[in-house]
Amino acid sequence: MPKQQTQSSTAHYHDHCPCCELADAVSRVLQISPKVKEHLNNSRVEFLKAVREVIDSRIEHLSSQPQKGTRVAVE
């Protein structure tokens, strides 16, 4: 049975983001400064924007292809 989401679990949803987890792991291992962590957090947003652009581009490509099929006259 799926867990019910509570308000607190939704507030921490970003903790399960792979990009965020990677940034946190790097920061723990390398003991990076808060300024570097801020850059990593900003790069996460840019990475997600890039993924969105790839998806949008693919949707545009698929939408521009002619429809395959035959026309059938309906009486």
Structural domain boundaries of the chain?
A: 14-59
pLDDT value of position 9: 41
Query: What's the rounded Cα separation, in Å, for the pair 44 and 2?
Result: 28
State the CB neighbour count (10 A cutoff) for residue 62: 8
Q: Give Cβ neighbours of residue 27 (< 8 Å, ≥ 6 apart).
A: 36, 37, 40
Query: What's the rounded Cα separation, in Å, for the pair 23 and 38?
Result: 10
pLDDT value of position 56: 96
pLDDT value of position 26: 76
pTM of the complete model:
0.47
Closest CA to 20 of 52, 48, 49, 56: 48
Task: Going residue by residue through the chain, which has 75 residues, state the pLDDT in tens, using 9 for 90 and above.
Answer: 444 444 444 444 455 677 777 777 877 888 888 888 788 778 888 888 999 999 999 999 998 888 777 888 888
